[in-house]
């Protein structure tokens, strides 16, 4: 992949991700947060399944581990993550929400290690 294309994709991803917090805050006043989160996930699922169909990839789980991974991702990465994000944005500014959300990749391993230490 060329450097120019990589830069364009990075800027596009940053712009789309950054503006999502403003969109969430604007829509929460007229749409219930959990319903809006569900709609967002539904739209993403349609787009991604269409992309997989066009590109010819497989999308059905082949093993029980695949199915469990899909269910865990659906429940926590998509479900709980989006519900808590949308509920939280009712009480936070868009800038604060974006900063808190961006800390997640750094805080998650620390939280996971702490949890492993507590449980073991």
pLDDT at 57 over 80: no
- Output the average pLDDT for the chain: 88
Q: Is the C-alpha dihedral spanning 17, 18, 20, 24 positive or negative?
A: positive
Place of tokens 């699922």: 45
Which structural domain, as residue segments, surrounds residue 15?
3-119
pLDDT at 64 over 90: yes
Question: How much is the pTM?
Answer: 0.72
pLDDT tens across 20-40, in order?
888 888 888 899 999 999 998
What pLDDT is stored for residue 68 in this prediction? 94
What pLDDT is stored for residue 87 in this prediction? 92
More confident residue, 1 or 52: 52
When divided into structural domains, the chain yields a total of 1
Q: In 1-118, which ranges are E strands?
A: none
pLDDT at 59 over 80: no
Task: With cut-offs at 50, 70 and 90, classify the pLDDT of residue 71.
Answer: very high
Alpha-carbon gap, residue 66 to 9, rounded angstroms: 29
What pLDDT is stored for residue 1 in this prediction? 63
């Amino acid at each position: 992949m060329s450097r120019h294309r990589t830069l364009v994709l990075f800027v596009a991803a940053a712009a789309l991700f950054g503006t999502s917090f403003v969109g969430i805050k604007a829509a929460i006043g007229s749409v219930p947060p959990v319903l809006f989160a569900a709609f967002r996930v539904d739209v993403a699922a349609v787009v991604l399944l269409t992309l997989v169909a066009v590109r010819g990839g497989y999308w059905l789980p082949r093993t029980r581990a695949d199915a469990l991974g899909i269910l865990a991702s659906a429940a926590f990465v998509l479900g709980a993550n989006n519900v808590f994000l949308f509920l939280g944005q009712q009480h936070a500014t868009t800038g604060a929400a974006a900063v808190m959300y961006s800390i997640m990749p750094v805080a998650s391993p620390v939280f996971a290690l702490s949890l492993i230490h507590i449980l073991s």
